[in-house]
C-alpha cells in the first residue's frame, strides 16, 4: 500500500499547549482573567521608569504581588498540563501491530501512519480509522463493538471487500490506492474508493472501523489506515472541550461595578488634585512643601511639573497604582488555590471512593468546583450510569407458577451447571442465581405436566434468540467457558439463565443449534427465524426437533404476546401469568413472555413456502416477512414469562430521591427503548405510579406540535389541581422519544417543549442520539439561568457532558471518552449525592464567602488609603508604608482566606445528607448575590470610616507623625479583616486558629521588622507608638466599633429570619441536648414552677 504523504503526522496531543509554554500561558491566563493586570504591569515596569512622577512604590515592592500571582498561576497551569500530558502519553504509547517489511511489528499508537497496514486481534482497541482488508472469518466479516463511539453495546458487523479478503498481507504483496473524503466528524458516514489490481472498488461505512471500537468474536482483522491521530473521527468528535468558567466567577465579573467604584475613587482624587493645584496656582513656585521651581541650576525652571492637565493625568495614574489592591488579582489567585484545595478534598473523600473499581473521584477541571453547589438540572444517561449495564435473569413464571422464591447464594451444584466435553469441563461464563425449587423441577424431565412445560420454557429461552455461543479458554486448563455474545443484553441474560438450569446452548449456525439439555446433547434444526421488529415487538424461531416434530417458539413483550395467545387453552394460567408480570414490572424488572405452538405438517408446509417466497423477494422483503410471521404467530400456548433485571447501580433510587428533595430536576436521556427507559424510571424511583405520564411519540412536525399543545393543557390542568390539593405526588412526567425531538429541537417548538418540560417533575427522553442529548441540555441552558449537570459514561454522552455547565463522567467498565471529556469523574452514580449535596454545597459556600470577603478586605484597605489621600492635598501619599501595602494582600491577609476557603464547613456532612433541601441555598444564590455584595460594601465603607477617622480624631492636633499613624492604620485594618473573618468562621479547627491568629502575629512581626530598618522614614515608630496608652485605646475602639454594625445585623437576621443553614447549624449543635430536654423537661422544670 502506498501512503499518502500529504497527511500529517498523526501524533496525538490532547493538551492544549506544551509544557514548555506554561510560563507564557500563565501570563496569558493572568491577562485573560483580568484586563487590568497587564496595564498594571506596564505601569509599574515601563511607565514608572519613564516617569519618575509615577514611581509610587519602589521597584521591588511594586513587582512582588504580580510576580507572586504569575508564579502561582504558572505553577498551577504547569501541573495541569503535566497531568494532561501524562494521560496523553499513556494513550500515545499504546502498542499496535503494524506491517513492516512483510512482518507485523509492534509500533506505538502515535507512530502509526496513514497508509500502513495494521493487524488487530480480538478484544483489542482500534488505534485509528482503518479500512478492512481481511479478517479471520473466511467471508470477511468482523464484529466490532462501538460502545466508545455511540454507546451501543451490541456487536456490529463490518465487511472486508471481496477483492482483498483472501489476501494475506505477510505473503502477498498487494498494492492499491485509497481515495477518501477529507477527515470529518460524521461517525456514520464514509465515502472512498479503492483502486486495487486495476479495479476500482467503492468503500462505504460498512468497510471502515473507527478508532476506539473493539474487535469482538473475530480472531484478527487486517486493515489499512485511512485516518490517524487527530484526524480520526473519534478524535474529531472529541476535540475542543469548551473551557468552562464557574457561574460564581461570571457573576463576580459582573461586579465590574467594583471597578467602576475604583475608577470613581481615582477620578475623585485626580479632580480634587486639580482643584487644589488650581487654587494654589500662584503659590506653588516657592511653596515650602511643593517648590515648583528649581533654583539649583543656572536658570530657574519647573521641577517635575508638566502643567495642570498633565498633573491631573498623573494623579489619576498614580491613584490607579496606589489603589490597585482593589483590583481582585489576589482574588483570582486565592480562588485558584482554594479550588485546588477543594479538589484535593473531593478526591480524597472516602465516601466517593469506588471500592469495586478501585477508583477515586477525579477532578479534571479545576475551575468550576463551586458550580457543583448550584445545580438545578441533572441530565443523566441511563445505561451504565443509572444501571450497571449488566442484565440478570431474576424470576420466571412458568405455566402460571411463580418461581420468585428466595434466591440462594448457591449457584446450583458445584458452582453452577457444567458439562463434560472431551474431558474438559464447559461452563457458562456468567453465573446466575437459581431458584432451587425450579432447578429441581427442571432436572426431572418430562415426568409430569409441569416439568414438561418447564422443559419447553427453557428450550425456548435457549433457542429463541440470536445469541452466538463462543467457547473461550478459562484460567483452569481443563475448563472452557462459554461466552454468549449477541446484540441484546436481555437475550444474553436469558441464555445464561437457561444454561444455569441445564439448557446450555453450545453451538449456533444458520441451520442448526446444539443445546446440551441436562447433560445430553441435542441438535435442533433451525427451520426459520423471524427477527425482532418494533411493530410486532416479538421474535420467533421455528425448530425442527430430532423426532422431526416442528414447533414455533415466540418471545416478546407482554402487550404483543397476549394478543396472540390462545386464552381458551388455559385461562387460569394466563391470568396468573398476567398477575406475575404486573408484580415483576412494578419492581422495575424487564419482562418477556414466551409462547409456543406445535406445527402440523400442513401448517409447516404453508409457512415454509410463504417464508421462502418472502425471503427471496426483491421488493418489500421486510413487509412480506412480517406478514408471514404474523400469520404464523398465533394461537400460541403460553409457556411463561421471564423477568430480567438491568441491575441498577447501588444506591441509585436513594440518590435520585435525595436529588429530588434537594430540588434538583433529574432528566434521563437514553438511547434505549421507551419501555426500558420507563421501567428503569420506575425501578430508580424516578417515576412513581402516582405520576401522570405524558408520552410524546410523533413522526411529523405537525403531530409534534399538536401533542405538545395537548400536553401543555394537560399539565396546566394537573398543576392547578396539584396546587389546590397540596399533594405533590400527582406530578407530571414527560416521556419523549428521539424521533419527536428531531422535529422539536432547533425549531419554534423548542419553546413549547421547554415550557412543558419545566412544568414536569421528571423528563425521560428515549432513543436520543448523542447530539440530541446536547441539544436538550442546550434547550435548558439557553432559556434559564439555572445550572445544568450532565452525567454519563459512554462516548455517546460526550457532547452532552461538554454542553452542560458541569460534566460528570462515570468511569465505567468500558470507554474513557466520557471521562476524558468530563470535568469530574467518579465510579458510581450515587456519588453524585455527596458530590453535589456535600462537596458542592461546601465549595459554593466557601467560594462565595471568599469572594465577598476578598472584595471586602481589598476595598477596606483601599478606602483607608483613600481617606488619607483627602488629607494630603490629594497627592496619593500613603501613611501606611509601601511595604505594608504590598504585603497586605500577600502576607497579612492572604493565608486565612485561603485556609478558611478550603477548610471551613458551614454544616456537617451528616446534616447535609439528612436534609437535602439545604442544597437550596446554593440554587437560590444565597451566599453570593448583588444584595449581599452591596450590603458588604456598605459595611466596608463603615469599617473604613471607623478605621480611619477614630485615629484621626484621637490624634487630631497632636505631634503624631505619619509613619506612626500609618502603623496604627496597618494594624487596625489587618486586625479588623482577620477578626471579621474570625467572626464568620463556623468551624474552628486548629488549622483555622493558627492561620487567623498566625497572620495577625505575622503582621505584627512584619510591621516591627519594617520599622526596625533605619533607612525607612518610619524607623522605630511602632515601638514609640506601642508605649502610649492612646494607641491601644484607639486600636481597641476601632476594632469594636467597626464590628458592631455587622454583628448586630447578623444577630437580628439570625433571630428574625434565620436561613436554612442557620437552623440546621443550630440543630446540629442542639439536637442531642434537645432530645434529652424534651424527654426530661417535665421532671426538670416542674419542681421549679
Partner 1 sequence: MELGRQLMSMDVDGGGMPVDNHPAPLLRGRSKAIHQFTQQTLPACKPVLTPAWVIGTFFLMGVIFIPVGLISLHASESVNEIVDRYDIDCVPDTFKSNKVAYIKNASTPKSCHRYLKVDKPMKAPIYIYYQLDNFYQNHRRYVKSRSDDQLLHGLGYNKTSSCEPQAFENGLPIVPCGLVSWSLFNDTYSFSRGTKSLEIERKNIAWKSDRDHKFGKQVYPFNFQNGSLIGGGKLDTTIPLSDQEDLIVWMRTAAFPSFRKLYGRIEEDLEEDDIILVHLMNNYNTYSFGGTKMLVLSTSSWLGGKNSFLGVAYIFVGSSSILIALIFLLLHVKNPRPYGDTMYLSGNRKDISS
To which H or E segment does residue 998 belong? helix 990-1010
The reply on whether position 288 binds partner 1 by CB under 8 A is yes
Which is nearer to partner 1, 569 or 1076 (by Cβ)? 1076
CB of 648 to partner 1, least distance (A): 17
**Among the listed residues 98, 121, 120, 96, the one whose alpha carbon sits nearest the alpha carbon of residue 109:** 96
The stretch among 329-337, 414-422, 759-767, 1043-1051 that binds partner 1 (CB under 8 A) is 1043-1051
CB of 906 to partner 1, least distance (A): 9
Selected from 871, 997, 1005, 1079, the binder of partner 1 by CB under 8 A is 871
DSSP-assigned beta bridge partners for residue 733: 693, 762
As measured in angstroms, the least distance from the Cβ of 291 to partner 1 is 6
Minimum CB separation from partner 1 for residue 827, in Å?
13
**Binding to partner 1 (CB under 8 A): which residues in 994-1023?**
1014-1017, 1019-1020, 1023
Residues within window 535-574 making contact with partner 1, judged by CB under 8 A: none
Task: Provide, rounded to whole angstroms, the least separation between the CB of residue 60 and partner 1.
Answer: 16
Q: Which of 50, 618, 619, 953 binds partner 1 (CB under 8 A)?
A: 953
CB nearer to partner 1: pick between 159 and 955: 955
Would you state the torsion angle of the CA atoms of residues 897, 900, 901, 907, taken in this order, to the nearest 10 degrees? Answer: -150
Concatenated DSSP letters for 771-820? HHHHHHHHHHHHH---EEEEEE-SGGGHHHHHHSSEEEEE--SS-SHHHH
Give the residue among 677, 700, 680, 696 at the shortest CA–CA distance from 760: 696
Q: Does the protein bind partner 1 through residue 1048 (CB under 8 A)? A: yes
Which of helix, strand or coil describes residue 376?
Answer: strand
What residues does 693 pair with on adjacent strands? 733
Q: Does 910 bind partner 1 (CB under 8 A)?
A: yes
| Among the listed residues 225, 332, 306, 312, the one whose alpha carbon sits nearest the alpha carbon of residue 269 | 312
Given a contact cutoff of 8 angstroms between Cβ atoms, the answer to whether 284 and 273 are in contact is no
User: Binding of partner 1 at residue 1065 (CB under 8 A)?
Assistant: yes
Q: Name the one range near partner 1 by CB under 8 A: 205-213, 329-337, 812-820, 960-968.
A: 960-968
Q: Which string of x and - marks every residue 330-349 that binds partner 1 (by CB under 8 A)?
A: ---------------x--xx
Figure out which of the listed residues 268, 890, 1004, 1067 binds partner 1, where binding follows CB under 8 A.
Answer: 1067
Q: What DSSP assignment string belongs to 521-582?
A: EEEEEEEEEE---TTT-EEEEEEE-TTS-EEEEEEE-HHHHHHTB-TTT-HHHHHHHHHHHH
Quick one: which of 106, 782, 1055, 1089 contacts partner 1 (CB under 8 A)?
1055
What cell was used for 875? 497627592
Contact with partner 1 (CB under 8 A): which of 8, 1040, 1053, 1075? 1040
For partner 1, which is the closer residue by CB, 11 or 291?
291
In the list 251, 293, 431, 685, the residue contacting partner 1 (rule: CB under 8 A) is 293
Applying CB under 8 A, the site for partner 1 has a residue count of 100
- Residues 129 and 227 sit within 8 Å (Cβ to Cβ): yes
Q: Binding of partner 1 at residue 173 (CB under 8 A)?
A: no
In the list 32, 283, 479, 531, the residue contacting partner 1 (rule: CB under 8 A) is 283
Q: How far is the CB of 325 from partner 1 (least distance, A)?
A: 18
The CA distance from 719 to 759, in Å, is 8
Kindly compute the dihedral angle of the four CA atoms of residues 520, 521, 527, 533, in this order, to the nearest 10 degrees. 80
The residues in 607-666 that bind partner 1, with binding defined as CB under 8 A, are 661
Shortest Å distance, C-beta 183 to partner 1: 45
Any contact of residue 359 with partner 1 (CB under 8 A)? no
* Span near partner 1 by CB under 8 A; candidates 433-441, 634-642, 757-765, 1068-1076: 1068-1076
* Nearer CB in complex with partner 1: 93/304: 304
Closest approach, Cβ 303 to partner 1, in A, equals 4
* Minimum distance of partner 1 from residue 1006's CB (angstroms): 19
For residues 978 and 997, what is the distance between their CA atoms, to the nearest angstrom?
A: 8
Name the one range near partner 1 by CB under 8 A: 150-158, 167-175, 915-923, 935-943.
Answer: 915-923
959 scored as a contact of partner 1 (CB under 8 A): yes
Interaction between residue 416 and partner 1 (CB under 8 A): no
**Smallest distance from partner 1 to CB 343, Å:** 12
Residue 287 lies near partner 1 (rule: CB under 8 A): yes
Name which of residues 656 to 715 contact partner 1 (CB under 8 A): 661
Of positions 260, 717, 1070, 1075, contacts partner 1 by CB under 8 A: 1070
User: Which long-range contacts link 267-272 to residues 24+ away (Cβ below 8 Å)?
Assistant: 267/316, 269/315, 269/316, 269/319, 269/866, 269/869, 269/874, 269/876, 270/312, 270/313, 270/315, 270/316, 270/319, 270/874, 271/312, 272/870, 272/874
Q: Select 220 or 290, whichever has its Cβ closest to partner 1.
A: 290
Helix 329-348 vs helix 59-92: crossing angle, to nearest 10? 40
Residue 957 binds to partner 1 (criterion: CB under 8 A): yes
Among 988, 1001, 1005, 1009, binds partner 1 (CB under 8 A): 988
Member of 695, 913, 935, 979 binding partner 1 (CB under 8 A): 913
Q: Contacting partner 1 (CB under 8 A), which of 872, 932, 994, 1002?
A: 872
Three-state DSSP class for residue 129: strand
For the chain, report the end-to-end CA distance as a whole number of angstroms.
102
Nearer of residues 477 and 1014 to partner 1, judged by Cβ: 1014
Q: Which residue has the cell 502610649?
A: 1028
Strand 732-737 and strand 762-766: the pairing is parallel
Q: How far apart are CA 146 and CA 480, in angstroms?
A: 27
Instruction: Tell me the longest C-alpha to C-alpha distance in the chain.
Output: 132
Which of 367, 261, 371, 372 lies closest to 29, judged by CA? 367
Q: Please give the angle made by the CA atoms of 147, 152 and 154, to the nearest 5 degrees.
A: 95
Q: Is the CB of residue 1007 less than 8 Å from the CB of residue 884?
A: yes
Give the residue numbers marked as catalytic: 381
Identity of the residue, 566 or 786, whose beta carbon is nearer to partner 1 in the bound complex:
786
All three cell numbers of 946, joined, read: 471607623
Which residues in 263-282 contact partner 1 (CB under 8 A)? 280
Q: How far is the CB of 41 from partner 1 (least distance, A)?
A: 23
Told to check if 723 binds partner 1 by CB under 8 A, we report no
Contact of 644 with 390, CB cutoff 8 Å: no
Separation between Cα atoms, residue 88 and residue 82, nearest integer Å: 10
Q: Cβ of residue 36: shortest distance to partner 1, in angstroms?
A: 23
Say how far apart CA 234 and CA 146 lie, in whole Å: 11
User: Following DSSP, what letter does each residue of 30-43 receive, concatenated?
Assistant: HHHH-HHHHHHHHI
Nearest residue (CB) to partner 1, 176 versus 916: 916
**Residue 843 interacting with partner 1 (CB under 8 A):** no
Hey, which bits of 827-934 come out as E strands? Answer: none
Strand partners, 1030: none
d(CA 594, CA 462): 12
Amino acid at each position: 500500500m502506498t501512503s499518502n504523504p500529504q497527511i500529517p503526522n498523526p501524533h496525538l496531543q490532547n493538551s492544549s499547549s506544551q509544557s514548555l509554554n506554561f510560563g507564557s500561558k500563565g501570563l496569558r491566563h493572568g491577562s485573560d482573567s483580568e484586563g487590568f493586570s497587564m496595564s498594571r504591569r506596564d505601569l509599574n515596569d515601563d511607565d514608572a521608569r519613564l516617569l519618575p512622577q509615577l514611581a509610587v512604590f519602589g521597584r521591588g515592592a511594586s513587582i512582588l504581588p504580580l510576580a507572586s500571582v504569575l508564579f502561582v498561576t504558572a505553577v498551577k497551569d504547569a501541573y495541569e498540563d503535566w497531568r494532561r500530558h501524562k494521560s496523553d502519553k499513556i494513550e500515545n504509547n499504546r502498542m499496535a501491530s503494524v506491517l513492516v517489511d512483510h512482518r507485523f511489528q509492534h509500533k506505538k499508537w502515535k507512530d502509526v501512519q496513514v497508509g500502513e497496514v495494521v493487524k488487530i486481534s480480538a478484544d483489542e482497541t482500534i488505534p485509528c480509522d482503518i479500512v478492512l482488508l481481511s479478517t479471520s472469518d473466511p467471508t470477511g466479516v468482523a464484529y466490532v463493538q462501538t460502545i466508545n463511539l455511540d454507546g451501543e453495546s451490541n456487536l456490529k458487523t463490518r465487511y472486508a471487500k471481496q477483492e482483498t479478503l483472501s489476501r494475506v498481507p505477510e505473503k502477498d504483496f498487494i498494492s492499491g490506492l485509497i481515495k477518501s473524503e477529507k477527515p470529518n466528524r460524521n461517525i456514520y458516514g464514509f465515502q472512498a474508493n479503492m483502486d486495487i489490481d486495476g479495479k476500482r472498488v467503492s468503500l462505504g461505512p460498512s468497510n471502515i472501523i473507527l478508532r476506539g471500537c473493539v474487535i469482538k468474536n473475530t480472531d484478527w482483522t487486517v486493515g489499512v489506515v485511512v485516518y490517524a491521530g487527530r484526524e480520526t473521527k473519534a478524535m474529531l468528535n472529541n476535540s475542543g472541550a469548551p473551557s468552562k468558567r464557574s457561574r460564581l466567577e461570571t457573576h463576580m465579573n459582573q461586579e465590574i461595578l467594583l471597578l467602576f467604584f475604583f475608577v470613581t475613587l481615582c477620578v475623585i482624587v485626580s479632580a480634587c488634585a486639580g482643584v487644589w493645584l488650581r487654587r494654589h496656582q500662584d503659590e506653588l513656585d516657592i511653596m515650602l512643601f511643593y517648590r515648583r521651581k528649581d533654583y539649583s541650576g543656572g536658570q530657574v525652571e519647573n521641577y517635575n511639573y508638566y502643567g495642570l492637565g498633565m498633573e491631573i493625568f498623573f494623579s489619576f495614574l498614580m491613584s490607579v497604582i496606589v489603589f490597585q489592591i482593589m483590583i481582585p488579582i489576589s482574588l483570582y489567585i486565592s480562588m485558584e488555590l482554594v479550588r485546588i484545595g477543594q479538589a484535593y478534598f473531593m478526591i480524597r473523600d472516602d465516601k466517593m471512593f469506588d471500592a469495586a473499581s478501585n477508583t477515586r473521584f477525579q477532578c479534571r477541571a479545576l475551575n468550576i468546583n463551586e458550580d457543583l453547589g448550584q445545580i438545578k438540572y441533572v441530565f443523566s444517561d441511563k445505561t451504565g450510569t443509572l444501571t450497571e449495564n449488566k442484565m440478570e435473569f431474576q424470576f420466571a413464571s412458568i405455566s402460571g407458577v411463580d418461581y420468585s422464591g428466595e434466591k440462594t447464594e448457591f449457584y446450583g451444584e458445584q458452582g453452577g451447571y457444567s458439562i463434560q466435553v472431551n474431558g474438559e469441563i464447559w461452563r457458562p461464563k456468567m453465573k446466575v442465581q437459581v431458584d432451587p425449587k425450579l432447578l429441581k423441577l427442571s432436572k426431572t424431565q418430562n415426568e409430569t405436566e409441569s416439568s414438561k412445560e418447564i422443559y419447553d420454557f427453557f428450550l425456548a429461552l435457549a433457542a429463541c434468540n440470536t445469541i452466538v455461543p463462543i467457547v473461550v479458554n478459562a484460567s483452569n486448563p481443563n475448563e472452557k467457558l462459554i461466552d454468549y455474545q449477541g446484540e441484546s443484553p436481555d437475550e444474553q441474560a436469558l441464555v445464561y439463565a437457561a444454561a444455569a438450569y441445564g439448557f446450555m446452548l453450545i453451538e449456533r449456525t444458520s441451520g442448526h443449534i446444539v443445546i446440551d439439555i441436562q447433560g445430553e446433547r441435542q441438535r435442533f434444526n433451525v427451520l426459520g427465524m423471524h427477527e425482532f421488529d418494533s411493530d410486532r415487538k416479538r421474535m420467533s424461531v421455528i425448530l425442527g426437533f430430532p423426532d422431526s416434530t416442528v414447533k414455533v417458539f415466540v418471545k416478546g413483550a407482554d402487550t404483543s404476546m397476549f394478543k396472540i395467545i390462545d386464552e381458551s387453552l388455559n385461562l387460569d394460567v394466563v391470568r396468573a401469568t398476567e398477575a406475575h408480570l404486573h408484580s415483576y414490572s412494578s419492581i422495575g424488572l424487564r419482562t418477556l413472555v414466551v409462547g409456543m405452538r406445535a406445527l402440523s405438517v400442513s401448517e409447516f408446509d404453508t409457512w415454509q413456502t410463504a417464508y421462502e417466497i418472502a425471503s427471496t423477494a426483491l421488493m418489500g422483503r421486510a413487509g412480506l416477512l412480517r406478514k408471514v410471521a404474523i400469520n404464523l404467530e398465533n394461537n400460541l400456548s403460553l409457556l411463561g414469562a421471564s423477568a430480567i433485571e438491568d441491575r441498577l447501580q447501588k444506591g441509585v433510587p436513594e440518590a435520585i430521591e435525595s436529588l429530588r428533595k434537594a430540588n434538583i430536576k433529574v432528566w434521563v436521556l437514553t438511547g434505549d427503548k421507551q419501555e426500558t427507559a420507563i421501567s428503569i424510571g420506575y425501578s430508580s424511583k424516578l417515576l412513581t405510579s402516582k405520576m401522570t405520564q405524558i408520552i410524546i411519540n410523533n413522526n411529523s412536525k405537525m403531530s409534534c406540535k399538536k401533542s405538545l399543545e395537548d400536553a401543555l393543557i394537560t399539565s396546566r390542568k394537573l398543576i392547578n389541581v396539584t396546587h389546590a390539593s397540596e399533594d405533590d405526588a400527582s406530578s407530571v412526567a414527560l416521556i419523549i422519544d428521539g424521533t419527536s425531538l428531531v422535529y422539536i429541537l432547533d425549531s419554534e417548538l423548542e419553546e413549547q417543549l421547554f415550557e412543558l418540560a419545566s412544568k414536569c417533575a421528571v423528563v425521560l427522553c428515549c432513543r436520543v442520539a448523542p447530539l440530541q442529548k446536547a441539544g436538550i441540555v442546550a434547550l435548558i441552558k439557553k432559556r434559564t439561568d439555572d445550572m445544568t449537570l450532565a452525567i454519563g459514561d459512554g462516548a455517546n454522552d460526550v457532547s452532552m457532558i461538554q454542553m452542560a455547565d458541569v460534566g460528570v463522567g462515570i468511569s465505567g467498565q468500558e470507554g474513557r471518552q466520557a471521562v476524558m471529556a468530563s470535568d469530574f469523574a467518579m465510579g458510581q452514580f450515587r456519588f453524585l449525592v455527596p458530590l453535589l449535596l456535600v462537596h458542592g454545597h461546601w465549595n459554593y459556600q466557601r467560594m462565595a464567602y471568599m469572594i465577598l470577603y476578598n472584595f471586602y478586605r481589598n476595598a477596606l484597605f483601599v478606602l483607608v488609603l483613600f481617606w488619607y489621600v483627602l488629607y494630603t492635598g490629594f497627592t496619593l501619599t500613603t501613611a501606611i508604608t509601601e511595604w505594608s501595602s504590598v504585603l497586605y494582600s500577600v502576607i497579612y491577609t492572604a493565608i486565612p482566606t485561603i485556609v478558611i476557603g478550603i477548610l471551613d464547613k458551614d454544616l456537617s456532612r451528616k446534616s447535609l445528607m439528612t436534609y437535602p433541601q439545604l442544597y437550596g441555598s446554593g440554587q437560590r444564590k444565597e451566599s453570593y448575590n448583588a444584595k449581599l455584595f452591596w450590603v458588604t460594601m456598605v459595611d466596608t465603607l463603615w469599617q473604613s470610616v471607623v478605621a480611619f477617622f477614630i485615629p484621626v480624631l484621637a490624634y487630631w492636633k497632636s505631634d503624631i507623625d505619619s509613619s506612626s499613624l500609618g502603623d496604627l492604620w496597618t494594624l487596625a485594618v489587618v486586625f479588623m479583616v482577620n477578626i471579621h473573618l474570625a467572626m464568620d468562621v463556623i468551624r474552628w479547627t486548629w488549622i483555622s486558629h493558627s492561620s487567623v491568629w498566625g497572620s495577625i502575629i505575622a503582621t505584627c512581626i512584619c510591621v516591627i521588622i519594617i520599622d526596625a530598618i533605619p533607612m525607612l522614614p518610619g524607623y522605630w515608630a511602632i515601638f514609640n507608638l506601642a508605649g502610649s496608652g492612646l494607641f491601644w485605646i484607639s486600636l481597641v475602639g476601632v476594632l469594636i466599633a467597626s464590628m458592631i454594625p455587622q454583628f448586630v445585623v447578623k444577630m437580628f437576621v439570625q433571630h428574625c429570619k434565620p436561613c436554612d443553614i442557620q437552623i440546621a447549624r443550630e440543630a446540629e449543635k442542639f439536637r442531642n441536648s434537645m432530645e434529652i430536654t424534651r424527654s426530661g423537661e417535665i421532671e426538670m422544670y416542674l419542681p421549679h414552677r
